[in-house]
Each structure stands twice: as structure tokens, then as C-alpha cells.
């Protein structure tokens, strides 16, 4: 069994232009985005291991926030997730798997979570 390092950033609230209905297409919608990113894992992390031995968590946050093109309309939230995954693969060749969970906050009526999870593996 291979060792695995999973980095996580959860519950980012991001305003994104997304949707298929006319009332959705002109204003950004609030999305809750969570990421789990699997990296190649070194054999050992020494107490003085430098940041480059892992990955900066802010890179994950950036992929789900400021790396989304401003003004870009995504018809499906699946396309938002795909863009985030591709950004992370391009950032770092050690990224082997990306899981993106997106909840559409605007359509929840009773506190339920309505959304999707996309998992991409490096090809």
C-alpha cells in the first residue's frame, strides 16, 4: 500500500457566476467549496522539514477563490470543480488526486446541502 498525504481546505464561501436559469446567470451565487488534494508523499517528515516537502494550503485556497476567472460564467458547478482541479494539477506535479465538493447555498431552503463532488486523478 502506498503512503498518501492529503491536504484539506473546507467550507470556503465563494461568489461564482454559475447557473442555467435566467435568475442565476447575471449575479454571482454563493458556493461552499471544500477540497481534498492527495500529493506524492515523502518517506519521512523530519521536524525541520521545509514547506517544499509538502504544499502550501493557501495554494488550495487560491485555486478555489482568486484563480477562478472573474466574470467567467460557468453553466454547471461541475465546470467550476473541473477548473479548480485543473488549476491544482498545473500548480504542482506532485498533486495526484483532487476532490472538490461544491454546495449551492442559494437553493437550500431548510439548511440542507445540495451540490456535488468531483474527483479527478492525474492522467
Number of folded domains that form the chain: 1
Q: Give CA angle at 44 (39, 49), nearest 5°.
A: 85
CATH number, domain with residue 86: 3.30.1130.10
Whole-number Å distance between alpha carbons of 79 and 120 = 12
C-alpha cell at 30: 454563493
Residue 80: predicted pLDDT: 97
Average pLDDT (9-36) is 89
Residue-number span of the structural domain to which 105 is assigned: 5-121
Residue 19: predicted pLDDT: 85
pLDDT 10s digits, 61-81: 999 999 999 889 999 999 999
The pTM is what?
Answer: 0.92
Amino acid at each position: 500500500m502506498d503512503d498518501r498525504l492529503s491536504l484539506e481546505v473546507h467550507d470556503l464561501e465563494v461568489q461564482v457566476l454559475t447557473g442555467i436559469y435566467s435568475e442565476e446567470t447575471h449575479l454571482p451565487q454563493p458556493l461552499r467549496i471544500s477540497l481534498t488534494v492527495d500529493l506524492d508523499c515523502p518517506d519521512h517528515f523530519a521536524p525541520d522539514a521545509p514547506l517544499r516537502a509538502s504544499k502550501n494550503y493557501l495554494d488550495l485556497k487560491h485555486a478555489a477563490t482568486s484563480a477562478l476567472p472573474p466574470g467567467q460564467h460557468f453553466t454547471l458547478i461541475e465546470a467550476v470543480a473541473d477548473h479548480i482541479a485543473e488549476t491544482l494539477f498545473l500548480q504542482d506535479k506532485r498533486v495526484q488526486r483532487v476532490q472538490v465538493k461544491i454546495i449551492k447555498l442559494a437553493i437550500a431552503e431548510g439548511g440542507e446541502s445540495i451540490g456535488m463532488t468531483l474527483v479527478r486523478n492525474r492522467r
